[in-house]
Amino acid sequence: MVLLPGLFAGGWLWDVTWRRLVKLGVDVIRLLDPLAARAETAGDPAAFRSALERLVCELRLERTLLCGNSMGALLALDFTRHHPERVVALVLSGAPGLEDGDIGLGPPRNVTREWVDALAERLFHDRRRVKPAMLERTYALLSERRHWATALRTLKAARAYDARAALARVACPVLMVWGAEDRATPPHAWERAARELPRCEFHTLPDCGHSPMLERPAAFTDLLLAFLRRDALREQWAGA
């Protein structure tokens, strides 16, 4: 299993889920750098797809389960669209591309701590889950102009990406988990799209915003583990 980061959040986004999976003996990898820190691939789904393909080949992962949040979810979908033979199953959460929502904040001339705090207010329903260290990491990332420029390019690419066409090409089992209070990428359009996929299940978690694995980590991981234990998927997972 490969856990993909978000645009602003790195591997720490998956801390609780990753530790639980490792404890259960799941072969899991998480990418540590937020996508905004990857100027060579962020803003270009095709470039990120190539980078992920190299990683999969280097690690000799003939087939894998991709799990992504936010922009990482959109890139997981894109990879699956182009390399269906390499993906056993797909887990999406908070992906952009089908809805009218956005981060709800205009791009500032200079990223400040106040702007980052307002961003957290927009993305998270339960602010108690947002630790000061998380905000400091995000501020440190985006206060570098090159990373902020990368983030803007990536958001622009997401708005142009045809997620509906990508979903139509997905044949593997899909799990979608959305925060019911996600204002950045509202769940409604994705829930409708899930009904059109023959092997997809959709869940919303109440009192939860854009990143369920951070705001509701126990509930999110329970859904992920239940998905892995489905009979049809378990056979494919064992074969991979």
Q: pLDDT value at position 122?
A: 87
pLDDT tens digits, 150-176 = 888 888 888 888 899 999 999 999 999
CATH of the domain at 113: 3.40.50.1820
Q: At 200, is the secondary structure helix, strand, or coil? A: strand
**Does residue 36 carry a pLDDT above 70?**
yes
Reported as a single tens digit per residue, the pLDDT across 39-82 is 766 667 777 888 888 887 787 777 889 999 999 999 999 999 99
pLDDT at residue 149 above 90? no
| 13 vs 17: CA distance, rounded Å | 9
pLDDT digits (tens, 9 = 90+) for 187-236: 999 999 999 998 999 999 999 999 999 999 999 999 999 999 885 566 55
- Contact, 69 vs 6, CB < 8 A? yes
Pairing of strands 29-30, 2-4: parallel
Q: How far is CA 123 from CA 8, 174, 224, 225, in A?
A: 11, 24, 22, 25
- What's the average model confidence in pLDDT over 134-141? 91
| pTM of full prediction above 0.85 | yes
User: Among residues of the chain, what percentage have pLDDT more than 70?
Assistant: 90
Domain with 96 in it: 2-239
* Domain count of the fold of the chain: 1
> Mean pLDDT over residues 15-31, rounded?
93
Work out the average pLDDT over 115-135: 87
Angle, helices 71-82/45-58, rounded to nearest 10 degrees = 70
